Every structure is written in structure tokens, then in C-alpha cells.
């Protein structure tokens, strides 16, 4: 009897055979379910054992009792069978226009709550691309979502460098190169805020730059690696504490480690209860124009939708003014959700 190589022995049929024997509890029952005679099933198991050089079943038991090696093969085999089925499902869905993976770069100041709600709605899509009643399709449309948190120019860089398919929160005045489309997301209001025990909290308003420069600023580092980083509202000669996220900046200002402009929706609750104090400054209050941008299919490919269905779905959601507003303003669970 020729023993097949180990790699060739571990076929989907062999793994399914192991699963059937373990599930039915006997070779005879498994043979009936598989439409084989017991001797043929026994022969197949022995071929698999010879190829792997292990004993998979304890021959001393009248039942199909697995050895430790058999238990391991069964567990891993079931996992591999599930993965193969998942790959087959994804391939079928890709053939209908759903992308295998969609990467979304999200600026640090946008609402995480809203993004996760959008992900929930995406994963609840039915096979036809619509949310329907009944049990949702396992894994949604089969597209893997990858969310990247970026800061300032890093959001734009992720898109133009090809690391993201969709970017939310890019500066609205960015010139779009060929292959990139851009639409307005809205304006984000920034306020100058300090802790109530910060020296500037009791200073007369409006605060001048000459006064502000005497106090440490807290800044969020731009996440761009290749593009020129964007610096916003820092004064020449001002001491700066640099942190990695807007949330860290807010925490630093709550601890009186510095001052600076922060998005009003993110600190609205802190301002309401007095943990932060908003101060008028001589400079005009800053409204940041934000946009969303995506990689368009400049040259449509034959037999393929010019734009993937997953990206189309996200762009459709962004056409809603309520969704755009929620991305900019909804940073607390008690606030209204998507509409």
C-alpha cells in the first residue's frame, strides 16, 4: 500500500470524514451517513494514520474513540473546514462586487460611537445588500473592515498613499489629485479651553497671543509619516507638550498640564460641569472645515463593478446629513444617534 504524503493526506474530504466519525460515534454510523461501506471507511482512516504516522482511533474500544492525536486533528480539522468555507463565501461575494477588505482612515476628532454604529449596520447587511428581518448574514457581506485612527495630515496620507480606500475627516481645502474624490463632511467648532485652576482661567478676556504664549500648549502629533505635518494654533516660542491623540490632549488639559484649542463637541460635557473653562481669545474662534474622500476607480476593469459595493454602501451613508453631523458631534451615548 502506497502511503500518501502528509500534505496530500490532509484533504477536506479526510477532515470531513474525521468529523463525521467523531460526531456519529462509530465507523458503521459514519459509513451510512457518508454512503460508504464500513471497510472502505476503515481503509481511508488507516491511510490517513499511515500518512501522518500516528494512531487516530483507539482500536481497543468498540466505539470510535479518538486518541489524543485524533482529538487534535479533529479540532484543527474543524477549524480548517470552517476557514475554507469562509474563504469560499468571500470569493463568491467578491464575484458579486463586494470587496475582500475595505480600509477606512478616521480622523481622531470624529465620533467613535458613530463609526461603530455604522460598522454594526454594515455587518447586518443581508446577501442582497439590504438590512432585512430575521437572522443577519454571518459575517455581513463578507468584506473585512479595517479602521485606522489618524491625526491631521495622517488621514489624508493614508488615502493618497493607497493604505486606505476611504478617509473621514480630511481638511476640506485639500486639493484632490486624480483618482481621489472629495465631499464636505461639515465644520467642527474648536474652543480655547483650560482647567478651572489654570492661570488663564481667571485672566481678562479676550486672551491675547502675548499672554497665551507664556503658558504651555498641549498639541496632538500629526500621524503623517511622509507628508509635511500640519501644525495648528501653536505660537512661536511657546512651550509645547505633545501627545498622541485628542483624548490625551483633553486629559492633559483637565490636569492643568497646558492649554489649547479642542473640539467643542468632545469637551461639551466637561465645559457644562466646569471641569474645563472656555475662554474667548483675540484670535477668531476656529471652525475647521472637514471632508471625506475616497479612491475612485479611474479606469473601470472588465467584469468588475467600477466601485466596490462595500465602498458604495459607506458613501451612501455619508450622503445623510444626520450621519455627517453625528460623526462630528456625537461623542456621548446619551446624544441622538443616526437618523
**What is the domain partition of the chain in residue ranges?**
6-92, 101-171+289-329, 186-287
pLDDT surpasses 50 at 208: yes
Residue entry with cell 460526531:
23
pTM of the model: 0.68
Please determine, for residue 130, whether its predicted confidence score (pLDDT) is greater than 50.
no
Let me know if the fold of 101-171+289-329 is the same as that of 186-287: yes
Domain 6-92, CATH number (from 1.10.760.10, 1.10.10.10, 3.40.220.10, 3.40.50.10790)? 1.10.10.10
CA trace torsion 265, 238, 275, 109 (10° rounding): 20
Residue whose C-alpha cell is 485628542: 246
Fold category of 186-287 in CATH: D-Maltodextrin-Binding Protein; domain 2 (3.40.190)
E strands, 29-171, are 101-107, 144-150, 166-171
**Contact 295/159 with Cβ under 8 angstroms?**
yes
Q: Strands of 122-216 (E only): list them.
A: 144-150, 166-171, 180-194
CA angle 210, 214, 216 (to 5 degrees): 130
Give the tens place of pLDDT for each residue, 28-87.
888 888 888 988 888 888 888 888 888 888 877 767 788 898 889 888 888 887 777 756
CB contact burial 179-208 (16+ within 10 A = b; e otherwise)? ebebeebbebebbbbbbeebebbeeeeebe
Query: Of the ranges 173-177, 178-182, 217-221, 269-273, which one carries the lowest mean pLDDT score?
Result: 173-177
Average pLDDT of the residues in 174-188 = 87
Q: 309-318 and 321-329 helices cross at what angle (nearest 10)?
A: 80
How confident is residue 138, by pLDDT bands cut at 50, 70 and 90? very low
Annotation: CATH topology of 101-171+289-329: D-Maltodextrin-Binding Protein; domain 2 (3.40.190)
Contact 87, 25 (CB under 8 A): no
Amino acid at each position: 500500500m502506497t502511503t500518501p504524503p502528509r500534505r496530500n493526506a490532509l484533504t477536506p474530504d479526510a477532515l470531513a470524514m474525521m468529523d463525521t466519525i467523531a460526531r456519529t460515534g462509530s465507523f458503521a454510523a459514519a459509513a451510512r451517513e457518508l454512503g460508504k461501506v464500513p471497510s472502505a471507511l476503515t481503509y481511508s482512516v488507516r491511510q490517513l494514520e499511515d500518512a501522518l504516522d500516528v494512531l487516530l482511533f483507539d482500536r481497543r474500544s468498540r466505539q470510535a474513540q479518538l486518541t489524543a492525536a485524533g482529538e487534535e486533528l479533529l479540532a484543527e480539522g474543524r477549524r480548517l473546514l470552517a476557514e475554507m468555507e469562509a474563504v469560499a463565501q468571500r470569493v463568491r461575494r467578491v464575484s458579486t462586487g463586494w470587496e475582500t477588505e475595505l480600509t477606512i482612515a478616521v480622523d481622531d476628532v470624529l465620533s467613535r460611537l458613530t463609526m461603530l454604529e455604522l460598522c454594526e449596520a454594515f455587518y447586518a447587511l443581508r446577501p442582497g445588500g439590504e438590512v432585512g428581518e430575521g437572522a443577519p448574514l454571518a459575517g455581513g457581506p463578507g468584506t473585512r473592515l479595517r479602521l485606522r485612527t489618524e491625526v491631521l495630515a495622517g488621514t489624508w496620507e493614508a488615502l493618497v498613499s493607497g493604505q486606505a480606500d476611504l478617509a473621514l475627516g480630511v481638511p476640506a481645502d485639500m486639493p484632490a489629485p486624480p483618482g481621489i474624490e472629495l465631499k464636505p463632511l461639515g465644520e467642527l467648532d474648536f474652543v480655547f479651553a483650560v482647567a478651572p485652576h489654570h492661570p488663564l482661567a481667571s485672566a481678562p478676556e479676550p486672551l491675547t497671543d502675548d499672554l497665551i504664549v507664556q503658558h504651555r500648549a498641549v498639541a496632538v502629533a500629526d500621524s503623517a509619516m511622509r507628508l509635511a505635518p500640519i501644525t495648528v494654533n501653536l505660537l512661536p516660542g511657546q512651550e509645547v507638550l505633545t501627545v498622541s491623540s485628542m483624548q490625551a490632549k483633553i486629559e492633559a488639559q483637565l490636569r492643568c498640564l497646558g492649554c489649547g484649542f479642542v473640539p467643542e463637541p468632545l469637551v461639551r460635557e466637561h465645559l457644562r460641569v466646569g471641569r474645563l473653562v472656555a475662554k474667548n481669545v483675540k484670535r477668531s474662534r476656529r471652525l475647521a472645515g472637514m471632508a471625506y474622500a475616497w479612491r475612485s476607480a479611474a479606469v473601470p476593469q472588465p467584469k468588475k463593478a467600477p466601485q466596490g459595493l462595500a465602498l458604495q454602501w459607506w458613501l451612501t451613508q455619508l450622503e445623510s446629513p444626520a450621519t455627517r453631523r453625528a460623526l462630528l458631534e456625537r461623542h456621548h451615548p446619551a446624544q441622538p444617534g443616526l437618523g
